[in-house]
Amino acid sequence: MAFMFKVRYLFITVLTAATLVFTQGCGDKNSFSDYETDLIGTDSTAGIMRVLKVNNKQDVTVLRGVSLPFTREDLRSDLFRILKKRMLATVLDTANPGVGIAAPQVGISRRLVAVQRFDKPGEPFEFYANIYVKESSPGKKYGWEGCLSIPDKRDTVLRSEWIIISYTDEATFTEKSDTVSGFTAVIFQHETDHLEGILYTDRTESVKTALPKTDSLKTKPVPNKQ
Annotated catalytic residues are 191
Q: How far apart are CA 88 and CA 92, in angstroms?
A: 6
* CA separation, residue 176 to residues 29, 57, 172 (Å): 25, 36, 10
**Residue 95 in contact with residue 225, Cβ under 8 Å?**
no
Q: How far apart are CA 91 and CA 127, in angstroms?
A: 12
Residue 46, φ and ψ in degrees, nearest 5? -65, 150
* CA separation, residue 52 to residues 19, 43, 86 (Å): 26, 21, 14
Residue 133, φ and ψ in degrees, nearest 5? -90, 110
